[in-house]
Every structure is written in structure tokens, then in C-alpha cells.
Amino acid sequence: MQEGTRLTRSIGLIPSSVMIGIFFMVPFVLILLTSVSVPTADGDYQLGFSLEHFDRFASWFYIERALFSAGLCALIALLSLLIAFPFTYMLTQFGPRSQTVWLIYILAQLSLSEVLIAFSWQILLSRTGGIANILVWVGLAEKSFSMAPSAGAVLAALVYLAVPFSVLLLYPALSRLDRSLTEAARTLGASPLRTFFTVVVPVTRPAIISGGVTIFVLTLGAIIVPQVLGKPEHWTLSVLITDQAIFNFNMPFASALAVVLLVISASVIYGVTKFFGGKS
């Protein structure tokens, strides 16, 4: 009976395994082969084995871009969770009808593309029609000024992009939270704030960690927002990959940068799983 159940489960994994193989492994293998391809005399490339493109990445410029990208995405993950966690916790205190309305509103925000968000924030932070005019109107600034391009503009727009995802990632864990735990803490004299930090946060720690990793990986691939709202020194590794692939037609080097980006993502996932996975 058990062997039959195992066989059925194994057969059920075949369709998903085939899909993963087609849509992930095959493109990854092609990118990996391209990243180690050998340049030809006519400026093209052919299959072979050369670490020339990875040697080019070893310059400080690209290493600094990789570190900047990782640091920026880690900060975005932290800020989005700090915003989304209290909001989601308060959302779960509402009735089912109110929760449904708010979730529909959040899902509607996910329909906004990165392109739309980038250009909307560009207008919002512009000198002529943005927040600066409001600051002048209330007397906090003498004259209007532009807030973009800047690192702050990139950070704000990507946090705005990430917060709805953070809410949806945290909602299942917080909605299933055993209310008797918080009630017991309150009965023992803990304040609402202390109950939040000593009961709610530790119990939902796995969701917080997995949500942070997901947001990190999600924003690591953002292209339009850093390109539109940031200066060249604020561009992430994803923007440089696009620049090499589309504008410079250098697919081998773009593939090498893509492999590095994947290594960064995999390293973060492995590190978080290694150090926090067994402590949840």
C-alpha cells in the first residue's frame, strides 16, 4: 500500500519536474554555456570554455555594483517588512469582510507594472508636479526642486513595489496565529506592544525570514526603477545586464553577470536557510 502511494506521488511530480526543467534548467544551462563561450575574430562568440568574461567582472566597478545591489535589496526587504508586518497584523484583527476588501485592494496594487510605478514616481518626485511643490506650499521649502534621480528615489519606489508582496507573504502566518497566545500574554500583564514583540514576532519568525528572502530576490531583478529613478552610480547589476545584452550586444558578458546575480541569490537563500532555517 505504501509503495503504491509513493509511486503515485512520484508520478505526480513528473509534470512539475518537466516544467521546471524546461523553463528553468534549460535557460540556465544556455546562459552558463554562453558565459564561458570563446570570442571569435569577427566579434561574435562560439561554444567553448573561457573565463574571460568572469575575469572582466573581477574589476572593482562590477564588484561594487554587485555589493551595492545586494545591500540595496537587503535594505528594501527590511523596510518593506517593517511597514508590512504591523499593517498585516492589524489587518488580521478586522472582520472577514473588511479583510477581503483590503486584500482585494492590495492585489489590485500588484497589477501595476514596474514601468508604471517607475514613471509615476518620476512624476511624483519631479520639480514641476511633485512632492516638492507641496513642501513649498506648506512653507517647508523656499522653492521647488527635483528629488530624482537619486538613491532615495530608487529606494522609495522599490519599497512601494515590495510592500504589497510583503503583506501577502505575511498574511497567511498572521491570520493563522493562535489568539490564545496573545490573550495569555495580556492576562499575565503584558502590554499590547510587549505582546507584539515577545509573542507575535517570535511565533511568525519563519514567515518573516522567508518573506525577507523573497523580497530580496524579487527586487534584485528590478530593472526599470533603478534605470529611470537613479543615476548611473545607482544602477543595480540587473540594469548592467540589460545594458550589456541589449545595447552593447555582448551576450557572453551579460550571461556572466547573470550567473553572478544568480549566485548572489542562491548564496542569500542558502545562508538564511543555514543559519535561520533550523531555529524557527
Tens digits of pLDDT across the chain (280 residues): 455 566 676 677 777 778 877 777 888 888 888 888 887 777 677 888 888 888 888 888 999 999 999 999 999 999 999 999 999 999 988 888 988 999 898 888 888 888 889 998 888 888 877 787 887 788 777 777 888 788 899 999 999 999 999 999 999 998 888 888 888 888 878 787 888 888 888 888 889 999 999 999 999 988 999 999 988 888 999 999 998 888 888 888 999 999 999 999 989 888 888 877 655 4
d(CA 92, CA 109): 19
Q: Is the CB of residue 66 less than 8 Å from the CB of residue 237?
A: yes
Q: Is the CB of residue 280 less than 8 Å from the CB of residue 77?
A: no
Whether residue 50 is contained in a domain is answered as: no
Whether residue 21 is contained in a domain is answered as: no
CATH number of the domain bearing residue 253: 1.10.3720.10
Amino acid identity at 183? E
d(CA 271, CA 224): 28
Whether residue 34 is contained in a domain is answered as: no
Q: Is the CB of residue 230 less than 8 Å from the CB of residue 150?
A: yes
Whether residue 101 is contained in a domain is answered as: yes
Q: In the chain, how many domains are there?
A: 1
Whether residue 171 is contained in a domain is answered as: yes
Whether residue 89 is contained in a domain is answered as: yes
pTM of the model: 0.85
Whether residue 4 is contained in a domain is answered as: no
The 8-class DSSP code of residue 37 comes to P
Q: Is the CB of residue 124 less than 8 Å from the CB of residue 131?
A: yes
Domain coverage including residue 194: 68-279
Q: Is the CB of residue 226 less than 8 Å from the CB of residue 238?
A: yes
